[in-house]
Amino acid sequence: MKKSIMRATLPHPSSQPLLTLLDTIKKAGFDGIQMGIQEPVGELTLRSRDADIDKLRDTMRNAGLEPHSIYLGTRFFHADASDRKRALEDGKRVIDIAAGLGAKTWLIHPGQLSTEVPYDACWQYTLEGLNFLKERAEQTHLRIGLENVWNKFLLSPLEFLRLIEEVHSPQVGIWFDIGNVVAFGYPEQWLRILGPKHLVGLHIKDFKRGPADIFGTYDGFVPLFHGSVNWPIVMRQIAGLGFDDYLVTEVSLGHQPLPDALNEVSRQLDVLFGLAKK
């Protein structure tokens, strides 16, 4: 397994461009960065020129950091058909950006369930979206991972599994966020049920359940090892699946100096690596 950090947890591009951080990130022991489509300002947007994408890829690799995956760029849950069509066209552009960047996986947040877009419609829109994008993903060898997020949708591993199997593509699976499950489930159970075939990538973060060990709010996302995730069991489960890719941290770096924060997270990943070997 290798160390990675999500771009969104680093200082915003408007305050500190990524290229000024690469040396610090590498010195902390990271091997890669999960890049994001950050609108309207960021290293990557839907309007990024191919030449700029190539330059970013080469600069990161020369610094010893792999832009191994990419997140966001499109969402499926729109009541208006023209908005859904535009989202899919955006998705095609994201696949092209990922190919130019050399990313192997693309994390999709499908959107937010609402009174305007009900559950069964979200299911249909997700199937339509993934079926539309899978052929292009197969052509570029990009894996698409639908993330389990707090959007009132796909609340069980069995349901997630059913949707992925209906799409029926080796390039479409789940990007599993460990901390996002804890408020209403157990990540080790999700990992076992989904299995290695469908696991595209991992977000590493912790969550502490509230009163009676069942409730939770966004305040429940806490530093690693301060929450309710049973990390020894989870890491053994991950190792048992044969997962040997990036562990991508999505944790707050707090208010300490950035080098200190990155070193702390890197040491925490070392602990997780050790747990995976036990």
Angle, CA of 130, 134 and 138, to the nearest 5° = 160
Buried b (16+ CB within 10 A) or exposed e, 248-272: bbbbebeeeebeebbbbbbebbeeb
pLDDT digits (tens, 9 = 90+) for 259-272: 999 999 999 999 99
CA dist., res. 18 & res. 6, Å (int)? 12
3-state secondary structure at position 246: strand
Q: Strand 221-222 vs strand 206-207: parallel, antiparallel, or unpaired?
A: antiparallel
Least confident of 10-14, 23-27, 163-167, 245-249: 10-14
Which helix (H) or strand (E) segment is 276 a member of?
Answer: helix 258-276
CA dist., res. 179 & res. 174, Å (int)? 14
3-state secondary structure 208-239: CCCHHHCCCCHHHEECCCCCCCCHHHHHHHHH
Q: List helix spans (H) across 63-167.
A: 81-101, 119-140, 157-167
3-state secondary structure at position 108: strand
Structure tokens at 70: 């990419």
pTM (two decimals): 0.95
pLDDT digits (tens, 9 = 90+) for 73-127: 899 999 999 999 999 999 999 999 999 999 999 999 999 999 999 999 999 999 9
| Cβ neighbour number for residue 206 with a 10 Å cutoff | 20
Mean pLDDT of the chain: 95
Structure tokens at 154: 């796909």
Mean per-residue pLDDT, 151-155: 95
Angle, CA of 66, 69 and 73, to the nearest 5° = 135
- pLDDT band of residue 178 (cuts 50, 70, 90) is very high
Q: Is the model more confident about 208 or about 212?
A: 208
pLDDT digits (tens, 9 = 90+) for 125-136: 999 999 999 999
CA dist., res. 142 & res. 156, Å (int)? 25
Model pLDDT, residue 278:
78
Mean per-residue pLDDT, 50-74: 97
Q: Is the pLDDT of residue 214 over 80?
A: no
Model pLDDT, residue 213:
61
Cα–Cα nearest to 76, from 146, 3, 126 = 126
For the CA atoms of 71, 74, 77, 80, the dihedral, rounded to the nearest 10 degrees, stands at: 170
CA dist., res. 268 & res. 224, Å (int)? 7
